[in-house]
């Protein structure tokens, strides 16, 4: 696994800093391409769901079964899978409502009437809470991307792309309130950029603290948890956000397309 270390860090950094792309889109485009966003968010969900259930979950079970035996290995895989879901759900529950990153923002929000914006004294607080919330969300995603790439780059690359796609609207969600609170594009971009750094930080912590304890059993449990985290994010965040932007079933087409691309990618890499 060590030979994939630089690639794992690089892909995690790429995925995390995609929040900055969202921030730039908010500054340099006048309208949101809702069709593209709906399609791409659905695509991201399709990739995550397919790779989690078809590739990561079975690999986690194989690793745990080899270490613990068929019955205990199967049980630990299921526990790890739902444990990942519980972890990301708890993070969601602990985030204040006004900072929840699942609130969809559009580029058009950058051009709202300034008098209306000035009345909202909570903008900076909302923007900073959103940045913090997204950073907390990005932390386990960083571990997931890093661990998947370290084990198998053929898994890590599509996961990193899927995570990057879903980080773009999160960058917009940070930039919109902070820009209007400070009137500074630089500050809004900086907050968005810094929130994305949580993913490579998650990768660093995984490397320095988790790697020393890695056995087949630990790896299998973490991998099962990664699958659970990605499935939860897909159903709780990506699909609802894609449907908010949706006009003509683009989110479902994107989801199916993501699954098809992931399926053929895995077949071609065999």
- Whole-number Å distance between alpha carbons of 150 and 203: 10
- Consult the annotation and say whether 166 binds a ligand: yes
- Consult the annotation and say whether 108 binds a ligand: no
- Consult the annotation and say whether 33 binds a ligand: no
Cα 183 to Cα 27, 123, 169: the distances in Å are 12, 11, 20
- Consult the annotation and say whether 100 binds a ligand: no
- Consult the annotation and say whether 237 binds a ligand: no
* Nearest CA-CA partner of 242 in 234, 233, 251, 231: 251
Asked whether the beta carbons of 162 and 145 are under 8 A apart, the reply is no
pLDDT digit string (tens) for 90-147?
887 776 555 455 455 555 555 554 444 444 455 666 667 777 777 877 888 888 889 8
40-44, 56-60, 151-155: which has the highest mean pLDDT? Answer: 56-60
Domain positions in the chain are: 2-268
Assigned token pair, 11: 């892909």
- Consult the annotation and say whether 167 binds a ligand: yes
Q: pTM for this one?
A: 0.73
């Amino acid at each position: 696994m060590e030979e994939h270390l630089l690639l794992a860090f690089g892909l995690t950094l790429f995925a995390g800093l995609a929040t900055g792309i969202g921030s730039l889109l908010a500054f340099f485009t006048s309208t949101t391409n809702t069709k593209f966003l709906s399609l791409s968010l659905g695509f991201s969900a399709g990739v995550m769901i397919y790779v989690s259930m078809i590739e990561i979950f079975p690999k986690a079970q194989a690793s745990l079964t080899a270490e613990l035996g068929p019955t205990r290995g199967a049980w630990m895989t299921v526990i790890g899978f739902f444990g990942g879901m519980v972890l990301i759900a708890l993070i969601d529950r602990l985030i204040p409502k006004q900072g929840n990153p699942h609130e969809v923002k559009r580029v058009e929000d950058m051009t709202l009437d300034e008098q209306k914006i000035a009345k909202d004294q909570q903008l900076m607080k909302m923007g900073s809470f959103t940045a913090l919330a997204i950073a907390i969300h990005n932390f386990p995603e960083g571990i997931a991307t890093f661990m998947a790439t370290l084990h198998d780059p053929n898994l890590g690359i599509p996961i990193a792309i899927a995570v990057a796609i879903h980080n773009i609207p999160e960058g917009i969600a940070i930039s919109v309130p902070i820009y209007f609170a400070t009137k500074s594009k630089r500050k809004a971009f900086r907050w968005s950029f810094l929130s994305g750094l949580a993913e490579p930080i998650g990768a660093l912590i995984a490397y320095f603290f988790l790697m020393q304890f890695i056995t087949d059993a630990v790896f299998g449990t973490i991998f099962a948890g990664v699958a659970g985290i990605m499935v939860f994010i897909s159903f709780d965040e990506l699909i609802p956000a894609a449907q908010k932007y949706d006009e003509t079933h683009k989110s479902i087409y994107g989801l199916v397309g993501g699954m098809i691309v992931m399926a053929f990618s895995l077949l071609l890499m065999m």
